[in-house]
Amino acid sequence: MRPTLPVGVVDAAVDHPDRRVRGLLAEAQPHLTAQHWTRLLAAEQDPRQRWILTGCAVDRRASRTPAPDAPRGLRRRVPRR
């Protein structure tokens, strides 16, 4: 298991212009917050890459409740099974 990165490093990676850096963060960082996932998904322009990031969030069992500052399209709650 990889160590948890400091918050400043996570914030920098979330905002990084290279999608490979953001993708690696999503795959490797064990406990991203709802705000981090929201920023990652909202900033991604490529629908395929957004789908990959969404899959990572699901695999990590990310929070089902979006961050309060989430863009309107990301505020829909995921129904519970």
The answer as to whether 42 is a domain residue is yes
Asked if the structure places residue 74 within a domain, the reply is no
Helix 7-14 × helix 34-43 angle, to 10°: 20
Give the structural domain span for 40.
Answer: 34-65
The overall average pLDDT reported for the chain is: 79
Mean pLDDT, residues 36-46 taken together: 90
Q: What is the pLDDT of residue 60?
A: 77
In a domain, 55, yes or no: yes
C-alpha distances in Å from residue 30, one per residue of 1, 5, 24, 70, 75 = 9, 9, 11, 21, 23
Residue 21: inside a domain: no
**Domain total for the chain?**
1
Residue 14: pLDDT band with limits 50, 70, 90: very high
Kindly tell me if the per-residue pLDDT of 18 is higher than 90.
yes
One-letter identity of residue 1:
M
pLDDT category of residue 71 using cuts at 50, 70 and 90 = low
Look at residue 48 and tell me if it is in a domain.
yes
pTM above threshold 0.95: no
